[in-house]
Every structure is written in C-alpha cells, then in structure tokens.
C-alpha cells in the first residue's frame, strides 16, 4: 500500500462475528468493569489507552473498579474468571460503538477467531477437509425471506447430522449454536480423519474424510466461446496478481471480452482490489483514484471534516484496458467488491448486471491485542472516484436481473449447476455476444 495504513481490509463480517463472547455470567455493563486497571490480564489497560483517547474523555475508572469488585464479591457464581471479563469488556466497547454510530463492522475477535481470519485471508485452511457449511431450510433449499433456517448443509448438497458420532442436535438449541460448535470438530490435525453423518435424499450415510492443510484459490476462469469468465471469490493476499495472470493467459488464448463475477464476494484487502481494478482502467489525468479513504471525521461533519485522506490510485500494467467488460454483482458483493465495481462504473469501463450490492462503505484495520485477540476497528469511510458513498445504499446495476433461485448461480469454486440455469450469467453473455 503506497498511501495510508498498511493493508486495510474491506471485508464483510458475517453473522458469526456477532456471536463471539456469550458470557452468560456477565451482563453488558458488568463486562465493562473488566477494564479496571492498566495491569489487567492481557494488557487490556493499554488497549483502553489506545482506543478511547480517540473517541472521548477518559473512562470513569472508579465506577468500573467498583462494579468489577461487586461482581467478584457478590455475584451468584463465585470465581468469575478475569479473562472472561476481559473479553466481555473488549466486546462491550465494540457493541457500544455500534449503538452510538451504527457501526456493524467494528468487531472484537478472540485469539482463535483472529487466527482463523488471518488464515482465510491468506487462502489457507489448516486441518480442513475442504467444505463450507451453510444454514438452509427444508431439503437443503435456500431460505425464502422470513423463513428460519433449520439445517446445516455442505455446499448446498448434503445435510450434516453428526460429526464423529456426535449429533448436531446435542450442540445447542439454535442453528447458530450448532454452526459455531461443529466447525472446530470437523477441523483437526492434518493427516487425521473425521467422519460426517449426512442426510442424502432421506438416506443417512457416513462419509470419512482426511484432513489436510489446504490452499484455497480466490480466482477461477473459464471461456465461453470468445468470452473469458473470471470469477473472483475474495480479495486475499495475491488475488490481484492471480487475476492479472489469468486475464493475460485468457486474452492471449483468443478471448475478446471479459465477464468479471464478483457475486458472493465479501471483500478482503484493498491492495488487491486496487490491483484488480487497475487491470481494466489505465491511470491517466482523468482516471486516477480507485477509491478515496477519509477518516477521523466528526460524527455530523461528513467527508469535509476528515482529518486524514488517502488516495488509492490506479497502478499501471493492466492487461485488459479495451476489451468489453461486464461485472456480475449481487447482495453478497461487499466492501472490496464494491470498491472495484464503483471504480469500473464511475470510469464507464463496465456494464453492471445482477442485483444491488450489499452497501459497505467503510474501512477496517486490525489492531492485534497482547493475548492474540484482535480489535477489527472501523478507521475510515471510502468514496468512489465520483465522490459517492455507497454505505448502506449499495450499487444498483445497469441491468437489474434477479436470480429466482440462488442455487442457480454458476460458480467454479464449488459444485455448480449448468451455466444455462444462471440468468444473470446468460444476460451478461448475451450483452457481449450481441
């Protein structure tokens, strides 16, 4: 990154982040009491000193000390572990920021969750069997609006009933609880095995898989005649370089136009979003910024009040400046995906097809804490080349084409239906061939 903080992340926090702590013994205000001393476990005092000078006056340490002392002396359960209070306090501060500033994306990550996030952004899955678990409704179908999911399924195909003989129904009363507990059971030491009990068309079967350290790519390609289809599933380390290589190879092989599929892409590193956009738009006097990041604003002052302004510029060396281009987006295209989409739209470089994007116009940076946990903190809001913010509003495509059944989305990173079933993809192909 040439400007601003190193490697800011524009990533989409899924619902799991909101279920991090779950400390039943401490209510929200009690959790705040854990931040009582600079010498508190895991260096929470230095954490407080680092964060709160930016957002307000010093904390009332006397009240916090008194509250935590009361919990230690009088709470119905004695010997409440201080580490739980520390995690609860860190998470409580994050929740308060959300309440005050509608910031859904600042988050506290435990040590294990932060390690998992770093591995995911590196395209690595330690001790994995190469599956993704998702919540679904009856028979594994995508839930309709208003429906509550009732099944955990693997890549839209198999319903998971048990792991190593342990039933999912015993892992909690809600699907969220089951999802939180089942993933660590599936992962383990590379070379070991895990047995999944699954439901396939009403038949219960056992499948044994061997764990391994997997490297998961984020860029995939296929050609449809003279059209190069480029699917980017995330903006991980190396995504920009991988996309450039695949574009160069595809165009050298005879492709004359490109479909860039950003559907389901929740984001990643801004540097790789910058590199991807730069493959299609050359830097010039009238085309310079991929995105402008503004931070340290007053709550009511807007972008003009920003104390910090960083310009993430287009970089030279792109390989697809002139080829006709269509970008596919959907409601799960977020953050870094929206940065690329906004730049290609503002520079009139691409036609957008699909449905409105997620609408995440903020920037998060990780501040690792001494115990290995992490504060994933919103530090900036970003603005497209035309100066627009898409925060909460998203980006509406040029051609709005709903996908009646989300399972019809063609994809190269997982089991997929025939491309002819994907109405959005077929619309893009028709526009390029026509």
Q: Do the Cβ atoms of 349 and 341 come closer than 8 Å?
A: no
Q: Which domains does the chain have, with CATH numbers?
A: 21-109 (no CATH), 125-214 (2.30.42.10), 219-433 (3.90.226.10)
pLDDT reported for residue 142: 62
Task: Give me the residues paired with residue 109 across strands.
Answer: 374
pLDDT reported for residue 145: 61
pLDDT reported for residue 207: 86
- Tens-digit pLDDT string for the chain (434 aa): 333 333 454 443 333 323 322 222 223 322 333 333 233 333 334 443 433 333 345 767 788 778 878 888 999 998 888 777 778 888 888 999 999 998 989 999 888 888 777 765 555 455 454 555 666 776 666 666 667 777 766 654 455 667 888 888 888 888 778 877 887 888 888 889 989 888 877 788 898 888 877 677 899 999 999 999 999 999 998 999 999 999 999 999 999 999 999 999 999 889 999 999 999 999 999 999 999 999 999 988 889 999 999 999 999 999 999 999 999 999 999 999 999 999 999 999 999 999 999 999 998 888 998 888 899 999 999 999 999 999 989 999 999 999 999 889 999 987 788 999 999 999 999 999 87
Please give the DSSP secondary-structure letter assigned to residue 287: B
pLDDT reported for residue 45: 40
Q: Is the pTM of this model over 0.85?
A: no
If one counts every other C-beta atom within 10 angstroms of the C-beta of residue 134, the result is: 15
- What are φ and ψ of residue 105, in 5° steps? -110, -15
By residue count, the chain amounts to 434
- 291 Cβ contact partners less than 8 Å away, ≥ 6 residues apart: 270, 273, 274, 312, 339, 342, 343, 382, 383, 384, 385
Burial class (CB in 10 A: 0-12, 13-18, 19+), 238: middle
Q: Do the Cβ atoms of 80 and 337 come closer than 8 Å?
A: no
């Amino acid at each position: 990154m040439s400007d601003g903080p190193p490697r800011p992340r524009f990533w989409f926090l899924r619902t799991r982040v909101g279920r991090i702590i779950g400390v039943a013994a401490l209510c929200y205000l009690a959790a705040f009491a854990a931040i009582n001393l600079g010498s508190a476990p895991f260096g929470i005092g230095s954490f407080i000193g680092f964060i709160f000078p930016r957002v307000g006056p010093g904390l009332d340490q006397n009240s916090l000390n008194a509250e935590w002392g009361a919990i230690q002396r009088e709470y119905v359960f004695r010997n409440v572990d201080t580490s739980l209070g520390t995690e609860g306090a860190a998470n409580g501060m994050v929740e308060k920021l959300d309440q005050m500033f509608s910031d859904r994306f600042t988050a506290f990550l435990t040590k294990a969750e932060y390690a998992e996030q770093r591995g995911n952004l590196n395209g690595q899955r330690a001790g994995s069997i190469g599956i993704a678990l998702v919540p679904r409704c009856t028979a594994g179908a995508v839930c309709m609006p208003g429906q509550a999911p009732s099944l955990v399924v693997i890549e839209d195909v198999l319903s998971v009933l048990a792991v190593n003989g342990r039933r999912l129904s015993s892992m909690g009363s809600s699907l969220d609880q089951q999802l939180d507990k089942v993933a660590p059971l599936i992962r383990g030491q590379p070379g070991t095995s895990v047995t999944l009990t699954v439901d396939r068309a009403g038949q219960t079967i056992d499948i044994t898989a061997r764990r391994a350290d997997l490297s998961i790519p984020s860029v995939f390609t296929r050609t449809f005649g003279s059209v190069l289809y480029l699917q980017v599933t995330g903006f991980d380390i190396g995504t920009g370089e991988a996309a450039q290589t695949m574009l160069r190879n595809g165009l050298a092989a005879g492709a004359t136009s490109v479909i860039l599929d950003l559907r389901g892409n929740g984001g990643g590193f801004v540097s790789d979003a910058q590199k991807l956009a730069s493959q299609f738009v050359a830097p010039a006097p009238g085309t310079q910024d991929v995105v402008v990041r503004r931070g340290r604003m007053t709550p009511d002052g807007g972008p003009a009040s920003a104390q910090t302004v960083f310009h993430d510029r287009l970089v030279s060396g792109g390989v697809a400046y002139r080829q006709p281009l269509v970008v596919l987006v959907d409601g799960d295209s977020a953050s870094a995906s929206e940065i690329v989409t906004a730049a290609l739209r503002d520079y009139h470089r691409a036609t957008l097809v699909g449905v409105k994007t997620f609408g995440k116009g903020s920037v998060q940076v990780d501040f690792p804490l001494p115990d290995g946990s992490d504060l994933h903190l919103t530090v900036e809001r970003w603005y497209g080349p035309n100066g627009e913010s898409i925060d909460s509003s998203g980006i509406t495509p040029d051609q709005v084409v709903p996908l009646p059944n989300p399972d019809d989305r063609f994809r190269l990173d997982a089991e997929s239906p025939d491309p002819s079933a994907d109405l959005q993809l077929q619309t893009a192909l028709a526009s390029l061939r026509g």
